[in-house]
A and B are shown apart, each in its own frame.
Chain A
Amino acid sequence: MPWEVQEIVFRNFYTAFLSVRVQRPGPGGSRRWMTCLRDLCLMPCPHTEEGSQDYFCLHRHQMLCDVDQVTAMRFILRQPSPVWLHFTIEDLQIFPPGQKSPQKDFPSWLSQLTPPEQPASLHGELPDPEKVSTEVQQMWVLTEVIRARQAAARIGRFDVDGCYDINLLSYT
């Protein structure tokens, strides 16, 4: 069953260059092999460790051709340096489009629509607007001061209930 490719994610293990070919229907209907990634450099200096164990993520718009209706994929790994004993890619994952990446829950107040404003009740005595505004201002200043005072620094306790008697270090 043909599928679409949105993202390819993998962890490298000492592969220097990666090419990816996909089998998909070409012009004329018949299925052909096409190169969607040619010699992507994973290790800039194949004799050295740089990039050798990095994670890579390839998106469909980085590819040379369309990657929908894919029926087969071929990963061609190249490692020109003779110093490495093995090379491969690990934890290969292919994601089709439409899969929502796990998103954090939105805080509930963000998703709630703001309620329409209720006009203030004019029953009873109207409070003096000057007085109210100065009180509100004072409250705001207080909250700012309290927020600023909150120590972001750790308390720095290293003991447990005042006790820090240690005899030996643990190996685990």
Chain B
Amino acid sequence: MRKAQGSWEKRILKSLNSMCTELNIPLAQKRPANEQKELLNKWNEMGTDEPDLSLFRPVYAPKDFLEVLMNLRNPNYENGEQPSFRNHLGLIQVPLKVKDIPELKEGFSELGLNIGQLGIDDSAQVPPEFFENEHVRVGQKVLAEQDSAAAQQYVRQGCPTALRADLWALILNISNQPEDILYYEQLKSNVIQHNLLVDSLIYKDVKLTASNDDYYFVFEDYLYQVLLCFSRDTSVLEHFAYSSATPPKSYIQGKLGMEEYAVYYPPNGVIPFHGFSMYVAPLCFLYHEPSKLYQIFREMYVRFFFRLHSISSHPSGIVSLCLLFETLLQTHLPQLFYHLREIGAQPLRISFKWMVRAFSGYLATDQLLLLWDRILGYNSLEILAVLAAAVFAFRAVNLMEVTSLAAAEAVLADLSTLKVMPLLQIFLFATVT
């Protein structure tokens, strides 16, 4: 797996280097003083800037990454050409251990049918005395006690909107002390001082994704403020200790091979891909102060999101999530799986982009935040794979009638009307096996 991650990283580096040489732009350079002043002045409205980004292209998109994952093979595994029980019917051919529904039921027991959930038991038809009022009361108590472990247990049943920002901060251990605000200001000054090629990639990504989204375009300026600073944050390098990925390296002033001139590029070691800004966008609903928003995003990234775009065998890594999705679908909707496979519409081709983005930009924001409540509560991304399978189960009748990949994509193009918690509950606890 590490080898595969290494060669994937090399591909990304090659792509970035070739973009660099084609466009004749350095990867990083110091900004001249007048440009620095200009940027400082329009820091809060960088969205109004319209730089020419037509020549820039994203370094990679989720579908490129899926191609790499599809081709992962264990050399010690019998990957025969003949179809046999050894070959997986889905796209992922790596035999990782994934949970089955009984294990998921046990793991996600708080989502059970007889336990109250926000997202289900707070709807207009249910009187709030049944669940909602008490749940809010407990949430306020948890916040008063500042108990992080209790908060993590509490959000498994969903966060009341008014308490969500504080509860997430409590779970992620973000307190926004003066040192943190100072650190953010320092990052901001780093952005002003040096111009990175990665900045243009970020601009392009925001313009292509978040700015076009009905829910998130209002946060465009915040997104620049967070992502540009994120690229300069060397504390993110610490997460490489437990990630299978390696940060890209370079040498300043062309002094190749001389360790005193070795630096990481970008300073945080993370090269953004197409859709990266969508990891930040939903958080803008919760946090309005840039330094707090920044810290929350950074913590979410180094705890969860980095696993969605690196190759590893971790149970919350994207490879395991893909395999979990395919296995769930195959086991519980075998007819649908077989039908989609026959028409050349492997289900993972459609659901991959949902999982890589943790459903950001695909679900309505209130539903997305309910989903991310559970990611924090269970400290795992497996719920993304379960939701993906549940969505397919929900639209199974329509999907059985399609005859091409394009038609299947059309059936699943719009998830904005879906209610996440009922889907998850039905799939896990109310499906006849």
Contact = CB atoms under 8 A, between A and B. Distances in A.
Interface of A: 13-14, 44-45, 47-50, 82-86, 151, 153-154, 156-160, 163-172
B37 interface: no
A45 B28 contact: no
B28 A166 contact: yes
A85 B234 contact: no
B76 A14 contact: yes
A165 B193 CA distance: 12
A158 B190 contact: yes
B259 to A, nearest CB: 11
A83 B77 contact: yes
Contacts, number: 108
Given A49-B96, A85-B78, A169-B27, A154 B234 contact: yes
Residue among A48, A151, A168 having the largest count of chain B Cβ atoms under 10 Å: A168
B263 interface: yes
Contacts of B16: 169
Contacts of A165: 26, 28-30, 252-253
A168 B95 contact: no
B78 A82 contact: yes
Contacts of B410: none
A166 B250 contact: yes
A160 B76 contact: no
B261 A49 contact: no
B30 A164 contact: yes
B183 interface: yes
The interface residues of chain B, by DSSP majority, are classed as mixed
B97 A48 contact: yes
B313 A49 contact: yes
25 contacts: A45-B97, A48-B97, A49-B96, A49-B313, A50-B96, A50-B97, A82-B78, A82-B86, A84-B77, A85-B76, A153-B179, A153-B183, A153-B235, A158-B264, A160-B252, A163-B252, A165-B26, A165-B29, A166-B28, A167-B250, A168-B21, A170-B250, A170-B256, A171-B10, A172-B249
Given A156-B183, A167-B20, 4 more contacts: A49-B74, A85-B78, A86-B76, A166-B252
B76 A166 contact: no
Contacts of B21: 168
Contacts of A170: 248-251, 256
Contact of B249 (A84, A154, A169): A169
Nearest to B195: A164
Interface in B65-120: 74-78, 86, 94-98
B95 A83 contact: yes
B260 interface: yes
Contact of A160 (B13, B249, B260): B260
A167 B233 contact: no
Interface in B278-336: 313
Contact of B78 (A48, A83, A172): A83
B20 A168 contact: yes
A134 to B, nearest CB: 31
Contacts of A47: 95
Nearest to B77: A83
Contacts of A44: 97
Given A50-B97, A156-B187, A164-B263, A83 B235 contact: no
Nearest to B1: A49
Contacts of B183: 153, 156
B252 A156 contact: no
